[in-house]
Amino acid sequence: MGVGVLGVGHYVPSKVLTNTDLENIVDTSDEWIRTRTGIEERRIAEDDMNTSDMALHASLSALENAGVKPEELDLILVATVTPDTPFPSVSCILQEKLGAWNAAAMDVSAACAGFMYGMITAKQFIETKVYKHILVVGAEKLSKITDWSDRNTCVLFGDGAGAAVMGEVSEGKGILSFELGANGAGAEHLYQKNKGYIYMNGREVFKFAVRQMPESSLNVIEKAGLKKEDVDYLIPHQANIRIMEAAREKLGIPEEKMAKTIKKYGNNSSASIPMALSESAKDGKIKDNDLVVLVGFGAGLTWGAVALRW
Ligand code: ACO
């Protein structure tokens, strides 16, 4: 038996904030944002929409896609750095909204690598046959911790949610290998100021990401006993197109084989990877039996990668 993804879903708020809109808020330009980051626009949740609301939309879509009912869920894992409140967890709020009364629930805090940490946690419970169906969600309302007067960060982030229902799949499919890692010594480069906004040393995070994304991708490919030529589709964390391109080039993957939601959604932290996975699967970019590599990095510093047979 394998452990894999039974269904995916994602949600983005309808309000679009373009680079041109940002030109009216901070001293920046559409040209700077496009060329330095690859972002053209991002979605912003209205005041009355919280992280759990976006998580709910994405989860309902993933459950429908998987053909799994909320009451069949054994565990809900929500990766987020922007919970509705510090406690209770978003996963508990989501459990109630879904009516998933049989599910245990907890949040996962690993910043932009959070969804990878969630997927791998889910894999352990399913593999050991403790649980059958686990909902893994990445959901963020980053706009509420964004300093809209700081041009170094406010142009980068957007709101959204992505979800995957995980369970048993046939032998040879699902998660073939994984890598998770952390380096707390790099915490100073990216953090939320006490109850406040995001602080980021962009250059340091950039250097770390350009090194880590290709390395982790190559590690999981090797652990699965495969070669980089075997990769059919790459889903990197959507933080900066230049970081993503560096990973793609190292793997020698053609441009059309890499998910690129960054252009229209920006960086959605833990939601970026599941949003890109869901959108790519629904657009038919991932086909049956494809080898998909998912790779993320984030504050902590944290990182995680998975080689997945679809
Ligand atoms: N518009 C115009 N100019 C800007 C802007 C902006 N929005 N932001 C910064 N600049 C200026 C800077 O002030 C600097 O000016 P200076 O040289 O006069 O000081 C100049 O542009 C160049 O700044 P750099 O930091 O060198 O620009 P760089 O090419 O490194 O791009 C960026 C900055 C996009 C932030 C890049 O470093 C990056 O993507 N880093 C990684 C970010 C990342 O991956 N974050 C992950 C977050 S995930 C999570 O856990 C939430």
Interface confidence (ipTM) of the complex: 0.91
Angle at which helices 51-66 and 90-98 cross, to 10°: 50
CA distances (Å), 251 to each of 2, 213, 232, in order?
Answer: 25, 10, 11
pTM: 0.96
Number of the ligand 1 atom closest to the C-alpha atom of 81: 51
Pick the closest to residue 90 from 294, 271, 262 (CA basis).
271
Q: Which of 112, 133, 240, 268 is catalytic?
A: 112
Candidate of 151, 153, 206, 241 to mutate for ligand 1, largest count of ligand atoms within 8 Å of Cβ: 206
* Residue 239 Cβ < 6 Å to ligand 1: yes
Question: Token match 């933080």: residue?
Answer: 239
What's the gap in Å between 172 CA and the centre of ligand 1? 42
Choice among 154, 237, 240, 268 that is catalytic: 237
Q: pLDDT tens string for the chain (310 positions)?
A: 999 999 999 999 999 999 999 999 999 999 999 999 999 999 999 999 999 999 999 999 999 999 999 999 999 999 999 999 999 999 999 999 999 999 999 999 999 999 999 999 999 999 999 999 999 999 999 999 999 999 999 999 999 999 999 999 999 999 999 999 999 999 999 999 877 899 999 999 999 999 999 999 999 999 999 999 999 999 999 999 999 999 999 999 999 999 999 999 999 999 999 999 999 999 999 999 999 999 999 999 999 999 999 9
CA dihedral 215, 237, 125, 163 (to 10 degrees): -160
